Amino acid sequence: MRVAKLRSPTKKRRMSGRRVVVFPSAAELGPALAHLVASRADKALLDHGRFSLGLSGGSLVSMLSKELPALPDLDCSHWLAGFCDERLVPFNDGESTYGLYKNQLFSKINIPDSGVLVIDPSLSVQECAEDYARKLKEAFPKEDIPVFDLLLLGMGPDGHTCSLFPDHPLLEETQKIVAPIDDSPKPPPQRVTMTFPMVNLARCVVFVSTGGSKAPVLKQVLEGGEGPALPAARVVPSHGELFWLIDEPAAASLTLQVERPGSAAKL
């Protein structure tokens, strides 16, 4: 299958910020996402010898686990993978995002165990967030706030992303890079999450959202609406790229201009 190439944006595109890219279905989106990950990895490895990737749960787990190992010559030996958010459950619990990636993806690629930054689920949620923030800072010793090369995010039907939920006080966090949450509206209730100050420093942020159930919230997030901005709309990298990779059912209500690599020659 031909894979749409997501190139670095031109200057004009970068100035206009976000790129909304619509694929006929998740079947076309998946390979394009994998290509984007590989291209940003190549760039990061050339620039600074390591590729740092922030992962999220939801449908990204199966999509990445299918598409990344299918890439020819993928070398993950210098990757650092972390989690944009994580549920405070044991790794062998079906709700553990790390547990899912370990079984479905990490077992199929050559990322070293030391290249995966995990939470310590034996701690209290408060201590777990502090411990994970410390691990992140140690992994990025040159930076006050870790700057990931690429963060992959999903969005819930309520507009949440990471474990940053609508109207939650964590949306206003400015000091912590990782915060605990013990009243998550979506179970399990205890989680740790990257905060906006860290998310918005990433070099590239990619949302993946598919399916018709996401159409109303996507319209609100991408085109605006009444009331305060939903969490996903508050992801605006200060210096980095922002992609929204969506499928036609999710894009059904949008009126803004989008890119459609299926009908255009190249992105």
**Cβ(162)–Cβ(153) below 8 Å:** yes
CB nearest ligand 6PG: which residue? Answer: 58
Interacting residue with ligand 6PG among 9, 30, 57, 231 (CB under 6 A): 57
200 binds ligand 6PG (CB under 6 A): no
Binding residues for ligand 6PG, how many (CB under 6 A)? 11
The candidate with the shortest Cα–Cα distance to 190, out of 102, 96, 116, is: 96
Segment interacting with ligand 6PG, rule: CB under 6 A, options 25-33, 148-156, 234-242, 255-263: 148-156
Segment interacting with ligand 6PG, rule: CB under 6 A, options 11-19, 21-29, 152-160, 252-260: 152-160
Q: How far is the CB of 249 from ligand 6PG (least distance, A)?
A: 12
H or E stretch at 244: strand 241-247
Q: How far is the CB of 212 from ligand 6PG (least distance, A)?
A: 12
Q: How far is the CB of 58 from ligand 6PG (least distance, A)?
A: 3
Q: Which residues of 158-173 are buried (b: 16+ CB within 10 A; e: fewer)?
A: ebbbbbbbbebebbeb
**Cβ(167)–Cβ(160) below 8 Å:** no
- Rounded to whole angstroms, the Cα distance separating 112 from 56 reads 19
Interacting residue with ligand 6PG among 53, 155, 202, 215 (CB under 6 A): 155
How many other CB atoms sit within 10 Å of the CB of residue 114? 8
Strand order in the sheet with 241-247: 19-23, 241-247, 204-209, 150-153, 51-55, 79-83
Nearer to ligand 6PG by Cβ, of 99 and 156: the residue is 156
Segment interacting with ligand 6PG, rule: CB under 6 A, options 5-13, 50-58, 112-120, 234-242: 50-58
60 binds ligand 6PG (CB under 6 A): yes
How many other CB atoms sit within 10 Å of the CB of residue 70? 12
How many other CB atoms sit within 10 Å of the CB of residue 265? 6
59 binds ligand 6PG (CB under 6 A): yes
Binding residues for ligand 6PG (CB under 6 A): 56-60, 85, 154-156, 186, 209
